[in-house]
Amino acid sequence: MLKECAAPAASADRSAKFHRDLANGLHAMAQPLTMLRAAVEVLGLPPSAGVDRQRYLEISAGAVERTCNVFANVQDLLTASVTDAQHARFDLWEAIAPRIDDNRRLLQASGITIAAAANPAWRPVVGDAGRTEQAVAVLLQIAGDLASKGDVIELSGSAVGGFLQLRLENSNRRSKRVDSTVRLGLALAEANIVSQHGSYEFSEDPFRVSLALPLEGGGEWAVGCVNHSEAHLG
């Protein structure tokens, strides 16, 4: 009887989490839209009001860009949640190395370092290269946003029981507000990995994310038995 109830229960949990993730996405869009509405109202004032129009145009442009970025993440979350992932051989390091280099250059100006290098453990895996690349890119951006000057974001890979485990962490991460935009990004990264029947685990403080995909010729996750932890960030 327990086995018969396990699958519906797991399905209900995934459905509930999916709706919470969508709610985070809608909440993340609320702030920039509110800023945009306020800026447009100010821009509608007569010239005699002495409004710095350039400043409010810049505020409007920034709010539009943020809203578009959040909306794109919501779309990608829907895609990862309702469409099948590819399952093909690919080189994980080659897939994510350009993203690492891009973020390393961006963060150097803020005094934040990314420590990552290929090693013999980075053998080919089986999964969806595009979704994995997007997941790592989102997590690197979040790790950078939550980091402070002098922090080191470490990314490492190791072969564990037929799987390649990717670990991203910042053990020096100080307490910073984890908002709806960050929660949405974490949900997108998780959905991308879980859709491949991969493993995903997240810890907020210290910031740590572990992903795992089957090595070529190695292990294989059973469908419906994905090992992932859900973070309740409030």
In this model, does residue 124 exceed pLDDT 50?
A: yes
Gap between the Cα atoms of 166 and 192, Å rounded: 14
In this model, does residue 224 exceed pLDDT 50?
A: no
Give, as one character, the DSSP assignment of residue 51: -
Give, as one character, the DSSP assignment of residue 126: E
Residues 62 and 95 in one domain: no
The whole-number pLDDT of residue 2 equals 33
In the predicted model, what is the mean pLDDT of the chain? Answer: 84
pLDDT in tens, 50-66: 889 899 999 999 999 98
Domain hosting residue 27, numbered range? 2-82
Mean pLDDT of 13-24: 82
The verdict on residue 111 lying in a domain is: yes
Classify residue 28 by burial, with Cβ atoms within 10 Å: 0-12, 13-18, 19+: buried
Gap between the Cα atoms of 210 and 171, Å rounded: 14
In this model, does residue 47 exceed pLDDT 80?
A: yes
Question: At which of 54, 82, 110 does a domain end?
Answer: 82
Residues 75 and 121 in one domain: no
Residues 26 and 112 in one domain: no
* Confidence bin at 216 (pLDDT 50/70/90): confident
pLDDT in tens, 164-214: 999 999 977 665 678 889 999 999 999 999 999 899 999 887 889 999 999
* CATH number of the CATH domain containing 196: 3.30.565.10
Q: Nearest-CA neighbor of 28 among 91, 83, 74?
A: 74
Residues 161 and 49 in one domain: no
Residues 94 and 76 in one domain: no
* Confidence bin at 3 (pLDDT 50/70/90): very low
pLDDT in tens, 155-165: 999 998 889 99
Mean pLDDT of 14-21: 81
- The reported pTM is 0.80
Q: How far is CA 78 from CA 86, 99, 100, 141, in A?
A: 16, 23, 25, 20
Q: What percentage of the chain carries pLDDT values higher than 90? A: 57
Q: What percentage of the chain carries pLDDT values higher than 70? A: 86
The whole-number pLDDT of residue 218 equals 65
Q: Domain total for the chain?
A: 2
* Highest mean pLDDT: which range of 38-47, 134-143, 217-226: 134-143
* Confidence bin at 234 (pLDDT 50/70/90): very low
Residues 62 and 93 in one domain: no
The whole-number pLDDT of residue 15 equals 77
